[in-house]
């Protein structure tokens, strides 16, 4: 009997099943706070089954895209029936995951392998990809950001890799009274009844911060390294351009790109967006906090 | 000239922009902000080849401008778009 669990992340429910022994407690630890007992299949955003045979997920079509980042390579194959296969290869060149996703993104099969670290990367990436694809039509964004909560409001710090998102969160924790880290790498933004919320998630980068919590967003800040500290509120296309690069999306999939566009447009209408040119120092956090919690 | 495949126009309230939405475009995050007359031109241009005369004709059709101003504006717009990398020669 395979083991099956359901999780609720960003208000969306998904199911994961795997043959006994295929995933360890260590790999699933970040997901534990998100466990739910919901058994209504219709409510599920998607279901992922882990299988033990990589050959069952071999892709024979030519690759339609190759994307590389600091974690490794993602190869995407699109099939005639609308389904898609994705291979994940680590920076060391070993393949650690194959995922086959149905056209409607609702069901998927995956094989994962490699070292413990590679398996963790594989399961996290597979679930994040599925989550991004399946939730895009539901006013939901998986964002690359560090998020903190303070006085029942959530604040997100965005920026290119290495800009100092986590550092800026830490500076808030050290210099301001009361904030708590919500997520350090991939929080979720979701609009519900006109209110924009940030949710913690099982995906928090190198920081073990897997909090199942939802709070209204008080502000979103894009960080840029600079020789000084300066914060500026931005609107319209500038605000859109500040948010877009940090949202996970397959931009060549027109339906998904359209859905993400619509969600970002709604977010920037409802939430103040800022650019923070900053140094990695205490002053940056104090200035940013004053602007965000102050009354403008 | 030709629109580079994968760049699409999106509206944001009263504003408009050209964004990259294709697997072949490396820089997905490039956004070119455009004004309302440029948005009208982009929407009206064919996916096939066009030249600055095509743009000038669209301008005179829609706006109250004389021929030489339209040609000048059309050439300026084409240069801006070529430099922005959203159309090709």
**Is there a contact between A245 and B28 if contact means CB atoms under 8 Å apart?**
yes
Q: How far is CA B80 from CA A278, B77, B86, in A?
A: 32, 5, 9
Residue predicted with more confidence, A110 or A2: A110
- Which single residue is written with the structure tokens 């209408």? A269
Cβ-based contacts under 8 A for chains A and B: 37
A77: tokens are 């194959």
pLDDT of residue B24: 66
Give residue-wise pLDDT tens across range A188-241.
999 999 999 999 999 999 899 999 999 999 999 999 999 999 999 999 999 999
Best mutation site among B6, B12, B35 for testing chain A: the one with the most A CBs within 10 Å? Answer: B12
Q: Where are the domains of chain A?
A: 3-138, 140-293
Decide yes or no: CATH 3.40.190.10 for domain A140-293: no
Alpha helices, DSSP H, located in B1-89: 36-44, 52-62, 67-84
Give the number of other Cβ atoms within 10 Å of residue A20's Cβ: 8
**Is there a contact between A251 and B20 if contact means CB atoms under 8 Å apart?**
yes
Search chain B and give the residue with CA nearest A242.
B29
Model confidence at A273: pLDDT above 60:
yes
**Is there a contact between B12 and A265 if contact means CB atoms under 8 Å apart?**
yes
Distance CA A133, CA A45 (A): 10
**Is there a contact between B17 and A240 if contact means CB atoms under 8 Å apart?**
yes
Nearest partner of A288 among A230, A242, A225, A217, judged by Cα:
A230
Give me the half-sphere count of Cα atoms (radius 13 Å) on the Cβ side of residue A47: 15
pLDDT of residue B25: 62
pLDDT of residue A61: 85
CA distance to partner chain B, nearest, from residue A155 (Å)? 23
**Is there a contact between A261 and B10 if contact means CB atoms under 8 Å apart?**
yes
Of A65, A236, A251, the CB nearest to B13: A236
A241: tokens are 């351009």
Decide yes or no: CATH 1.20.58 for domain B2-88: no
Rg value, chain B, Cα: 13
- Which single residue is written with the structure tokens 């500290």? A229
Of B13, B15, B21, the CB nearest to A254: B21
Give the number of other Cβ atoms within 10 Å of residue B85's Cβ: 15
Q: Where are the domains of chain B?
A: 2-88
Of A241, A244, A252, the CB nearest to B22: A252
Give residue-wise pLDDT tens across range B11-70.
998 899 999 887 666 566 778 999 999 999 999 999 999 999 999 999 999 999 999 999
Residue predicted with more confidence, A65 or A233: A233
Of B8, B12, B22, the CB nearest to A237: B12
Read off the pTM: 0.91
How would you class A269 by CB atoms within 10 Å of its CB: exposed for 0-12, middle for 13-18, buried for 19 or more? middle
Model confidence at A88: pLDDT above 90:
yes
Does residue B85 contact residue B22 with C-beta atoms inside 8 Å?
no
**Is there a contact between A237 and B33 if contact means CB atoms under 8 Å apart?**
yes
pLDDT of residue A21: 83
Distance CA A127, CA A249 (A): 14
């Amino acid at each position: 009997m395979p083991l099956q669990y359901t999780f609720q992340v960003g208000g969306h429910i998904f199911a994961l099943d795997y043959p006994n022994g295929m995933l360890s407690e260590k790999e699933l630890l970040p997901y534990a706070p998100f466990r739910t007992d919901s058994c209504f299949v219709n409510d599920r955003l998607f279901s992922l089954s882990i299988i033990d045979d990589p050959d069952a997920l071999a892709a024979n079509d030519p690759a339609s895209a190759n994307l590389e980042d600091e974690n490794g390579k993602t190869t995407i194959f699109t099939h005639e029936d609308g389904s898609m296969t994705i291979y994940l290869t680590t920076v060391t060149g070993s393949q650690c995951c194959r995922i086959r996703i149905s056209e409607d993104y609702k069901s998927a099969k995956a094989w994962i392998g490699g070292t413990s670290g590679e398996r963790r990367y594989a399961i996290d990436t597979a679930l994040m990809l599925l989550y991004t694809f399946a939730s895009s039509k539901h006013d939901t964004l998986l964002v690359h950001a560090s998020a903190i909560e303070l006085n029942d409001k959530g604040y997100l710090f965005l920026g290119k890799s290495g800009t100092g998102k986590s550092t800026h969160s830490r500076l808030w924790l050290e210099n301001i009274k009361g904030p708590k880290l919500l997520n350090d790498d991939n929080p979720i933004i979701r609009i519900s009844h006109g209110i924009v919320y940030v949710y913690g998630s099982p995906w928090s980068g190198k920081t073990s911060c897997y909090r199942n919590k939802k709070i209204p967003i008080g502000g979103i800040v894009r960080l840029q390294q600079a020789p000084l500290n300066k914060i500026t509120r931005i609107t319209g296309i500038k605000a859109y351009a500040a948010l877009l690069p940090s949202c996970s999306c397959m931009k060549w999939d027109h339906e998904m790109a359209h859905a993400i566009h619509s969600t970002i447009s709604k977010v920037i209408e409802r939430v103040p967006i800022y650019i923070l040119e900053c140094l990695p120092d205490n002053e940056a956090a104090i200035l940013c906090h004053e602007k965000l919690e102050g009354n403008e | 000239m030709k629109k580079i495949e994968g760049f699409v126009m999106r509206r944001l309230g009263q504003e408009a922009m050209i964004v990259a939405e294709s697997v072949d475009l490396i820089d997905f995050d490039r956004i070119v902000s455009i004004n309302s007359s440029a948005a009208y031109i982009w929407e009206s241009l064919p996916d096939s080849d066009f030249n600055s005369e095509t743009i000038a004709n669209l301008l005179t059709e829609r706006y109250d401008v004389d021929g030489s101003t339209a040609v000048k504006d059309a050439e300026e717009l084409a240069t801006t778009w070529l430099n922005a990398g959203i159309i090709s020669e």
